[in-house]
Every structure is written in structure tokens, then in C-alpha cells.
Amino acid sequence: MTANEIETLAAGVRNAERRAVARAISLVESSRPSDAQRAEALLSALYGSARSARRVAVSGPPGVGKSTLIDVLGVYALHAGHRVAVLAIDPTSRVSGGSVLGDRTRMTELSRSPAAFVRSSPSGVAGGGISPRSHEVLCVLEAAGYDLIFVETVGVGQAELAAVDLVDVLLLVLLAGAGDDIQGIKRGILEHADVVAFNKCEGDNAAATEAARAQLAAVLSQLRAGAPAVFGVSALQQLGISQLFAGVVARTDELQASGELSARRTQRRKAWFLRRLEEAVLARFSQSDEARQRLAQLTTQVERGELLPNAAVRQLLNE
């Protein structure tokens, strides 16, 4: 891909051409060394024109209904005049290395809308419920003019804290009656949640949902200053969606007024830099046969219990 082709692709992204946006994301997500320089050139061309969108991470235990809720929230936002994009992170198998990438199939309304863009990405080896190139993908989506971006995390509970360094607002989705799940994530992601929603509040579950919502709201008001609002919703029957959307917008506005939103965006640029620095340092050790052999030797000593990992790192860096 020549410099002119890169600029043509960047122009297509800035004009919100769907094919160009999809191609750009595929390029920045590519793990092939031959694509790295082209991806950086593309991102450099887009970086200055990328406008800051409202970024909302949607997190919670598996099966809580995150995809369906995003679909309903996204459609509501479209009717309110927003241009909506979704980055849905699907877990990568540790056995096969593959990923189903099926979350977008549950976002049927958004997937059909010309004003929305839905992308599924494998989590790969990245931790924290996000994909290895989430920062880059969101940069492309912002450059394309999407002003509201949802990031659906893998669904691994308290380990999803990497999403905090990726978005403006964290929406945590829970189910009533999942007391053990809530206890398990209380000291993790719940401490970072900006808005909480109990999903599936329809039918016989309505009373239990309202009780759980009120209980958690009371607990959070005692544990946290500026406790998050807690809502009861039904994505299936589209109940409480307008109130939840208003809650997300209100939380973003509060963060902007206090200066916290600017601080969060500064932190996420730093987190982006540190992730790429870590990758570059690791890659440097694989650039020569001598370095690879020494790394393999130290790794074997660590695996056998012959060398403290901290000492192995120090030796490798000193050498």
C-alpha cells in the first residue's frame, strides 16, 4: 500500500465510508509485521482529525444481556440524532486461538442501520476484557465521525479493568439474584462503575430486580462518594432504556464539568503509549539470535525453579 493509497483510505474514513472504515480497522488490527508501518501511517493521518466521542464500556458477567442492551441503547441513541459505533470484544480460545465473533449477531437493529457501525474483534492475548488493538480501532471510529461508541467487553467480571483506560464511562450490567457474582466483582470493576443497570426486570423478575437495585444503590451510597446511579431495565421489552441513556449522558456531563473527563482521556492516552512500549520492548528481544537464545535460556531456568523471575528480568535487561 503506497502513501497515496494510505491517504485515500484515510480520506474515506474521514468521509465515513463504511468500506473504508472496515478496511482501516482490519489494517490496524493486523498482526503481520508487513502491515505495522502502513497501520502507523494511517493512524498518523487520522489522529489529528479524530474527534472525541462519548465512549461507553458495557461490562458485566457472561449471559447478562450486554449485546441486547447495547442494541436497544444504540437504536435509542440513533433516534436522538447520534451516530453510533460498537466495538464488541469476543473471547479468543486458549486452545484453538479462534474466536466466534458472534456478539454482532445479537445487535440486529444496529447492524441494519446505515448510521451505525458494529465491529467484532477477538480478545487475543490481551487481558482486561479488551482486544489488543482496541485503542487503534476507537481512533479510526472517532475519525469516521461516530460520536457515541460502545465497547462491549468480554464478560470476565473484575478482570475487565483494562476497559477503564479505554473509555469515558463504564456501564456495569448485572442480574438480580446473582449475589455471588456481585460479591465477586465488588472490589474490582464495581468500584469503577459510573452507571449500573440490572437487566431483565420484566415479568416475574420485576420485583426481585427492584429490590436488588434499591439494595445496591443504598450500599454504594455508603461506600462511595458520588455513587453511581443504579437502574432497572429490560432490554428485551425496552423498559427503562430512556432513563438509562439519560443516566449515562448525565454522568458524562458531570465528569466533564468536574474536569475528571479530561483527566481520564489523558490517562487513556498514557495507557495506550505504555501498552505499545511494552510490546516494543518484548519485540526487541526477538530481533537477534543471541537475544532469543538468552531469553529462552532464562525462561527455562525460571520454569525449572532455578532462577527467581525478578532476577531473570534484571539479568536480561543488564545484558
Block means of pLDDT (10 residues each) for the chain, 319 residues, are: 92 95 95 90 88 90 90 96 92 44 70 91 60 91 96 67 86 79 56 91 90 89 85 94 97 95 93 90 81 90 94 88
Q: What is the pLDDT of residue 179?
A: 56
Q: What is the pLDDT of residue 100?
A: 45
φ, ψ of residue 201 in degrees (nearest 5): -90, 15
The pTM of the full predicted model, rounded to 2 decimals, is 0.86
Q: What is the pLDDT of residue 90?
A: 75
